[in-house]
Amino acid sequence: MNILDIIAKKVKKLELTKNELEFAVTGYVKGEIPDYQMSALLMAIMLNGMTEKETACLTEVMLNSGDKLTFDYNIVDKHSTGGVGDKTTLVLVPLVASLGTKVAKMSGRGLGHTGGTIDKLEAIEGFNTNLTVEEFKKEVEEIGASIAGQTGDLCPADKKIYALRDVTGTVASIPLIASSIMSKKLASGANKIVIDLKVGIGALMTNLEDARKLANLMVKIGRLSGKEVIVVLTNMNEPLGYAVGNALEVHEAIDTLKGQGPKDLEELVINLASLMVSLDQNIPMEILLENVERALKDGEAYEKFKEIILYQGGDINNIKIADNITEVIAENDGYVKSIDALKIGELARRLGAGRVKKDDIINPKVGIVLTKKVSDEVKKGDVLAKIYYDNTIIPTQDVLECFKITKEKVEKPKLIYEIIKE
């Protein structure tokens, strides 16, 4: 068996066996298969897809590439497929923990134009995302929640392939996304899993049809593994909230935890938190919504967030943002018809907020903060957005072109499309 034959087989759109997938993945993790050959296999998968059987086998291979966590109590986990301005985890984890449900959250770094939770948390001075398994489990047990990067021994295959996908144009592959997410979730010891699957121009899944395929695939993989998985399809045609950029998003998450956040972010975290607590405590989601909103508004969730930050060595009062700010000015009166989330994410990456190569160093201080959202009224001369920059600046015209202004009034877009359980 050799990697060239495996690549050629997938190029011919043939189904790979579990042994072939194990050979490729294990060889790559051990360094026996180089980046360029694994990249070729990933691209063949990206272009030609995988069967459900192949995807389940790939998930199992990645799951078994390292250790698996176990807990003596119920753990509910959440995952997002990534979007522009998606700081949901920073609000959701402490919110759920403040309601008595334990959350063991292992997160990743940025993929493509989307930001990663670990990158955002590292914008907090001193915050340690590199916990050992023992430290991770101890924090969950003692304070009810932890947010950390993948340990070296937990799904090392996914960790290495995840970084390679980011820089080889193979991010938006349904089987690769499903196997990546589910291998991590199954390895992290969660009994119940809620997945926030972003849909739209700024997401990995750009349309509802593909999103439903991915959602059903993940639900099926979860069921085969004895785990309950719920997938929520949410809108990512415009950035979530206003801030795009690591430190800027942390500040917005803190505002939200103080009850002063953007309405779309609040709506999303309240619904996701209600689902997570419902799964854990066996209480109907509808009954929980009011209690969850109260926990967000009255400061309970913020206190839990401060507890997590302190426990992991961070200084919540030391989250620096760039000093240089340029405003983007509206040229016409009207209403915001659309905001191109993909272009906003790519522009933030050009500022230094994301990666082009897997070893690129992110500048946590830079990014873009919108001041208008879809359906908002705009007057000529209004500020549409602010660009926060250090050494690299982008033309304000590039950001301006992300906004489409129309004379007609625009309806507020729907945030949550549907919830998929079976």
Give the pLDDT of residue 188: 84
Residue 180 designated active-site: yes
Domains of the chain: residue spans and CATH:
3-49 (1.20.970.10), 76-317 (3.40.1030.10), 324-406 (3.90.1170.30)
Q: What is the pLDDT of residue 115?
A: 65
Percent of residues in the chain assigned helix, strand, coil, to nearest 5: 45, 15, 40
pTM of the predicted model over 0.75:
yes
**Active-site residue, selected from the candidate residues 158, 255, 264, 280:** 158
Q: What is the pLDDT of residue 232?
A: 98
**pLDDT value at residue 129:** 93
pLDDT tens readout for residues 224-274? 888 999 999 999 999 999 999 999 999 999 999 999 999 999 999 999 999
Confidence at residue 228, expressed as pLDDT on a 0 to 100 scale: 92
Catalytic residue among 109, 120, 165, 355: 165
d(CA 343, CA 385): 14
Residue 184 falls in the annotated catalytic set: yes
What integer pLDDT is reported at residue 113 of this predicted model?
62
Tell me, what's the pLDDT at 329? 98
- Tell me how many degrees the CA angle 345-351-353 measures, rounded to the nearest 5: 60
Q: Is 165 marked active-site?
A: yes
Per-position b or e across 377-397, b if 16+ CB within 10 A of its CB:
ebeeebebbbbbbeeeebebe
CA distances from 147 to 119, 305, 311, 407 (A): 12, 10, 11, 44
Query: CA end-to-end span of the chain, whole Å?
Result: 38
pLDDT for position 152 = 61
- The CA distance from 363 to 343, in Å, is 19
pLDDT, residue 109, reads: 75
Whether 258 is catalytic = no
Per annotation, catalytic residue among 180, 188, 274, 278: 180
Residues of the chain with pLDDT under 70: 110-115, 152, 358
Q: Which residue among the candidates 137, 159, 184, 372 is catalytic per the annotation?
A: 184
How far is residue 47 from each of residues 16, 43, 50, 180, 347, measured CA to CA in Å?
A: 15, 6, 10, 17, 27
Selecting among 78, 79, 120, 137, the annotated active-site residue is 79
- Rounded Cα distance between 75 and 167, Å, is 33
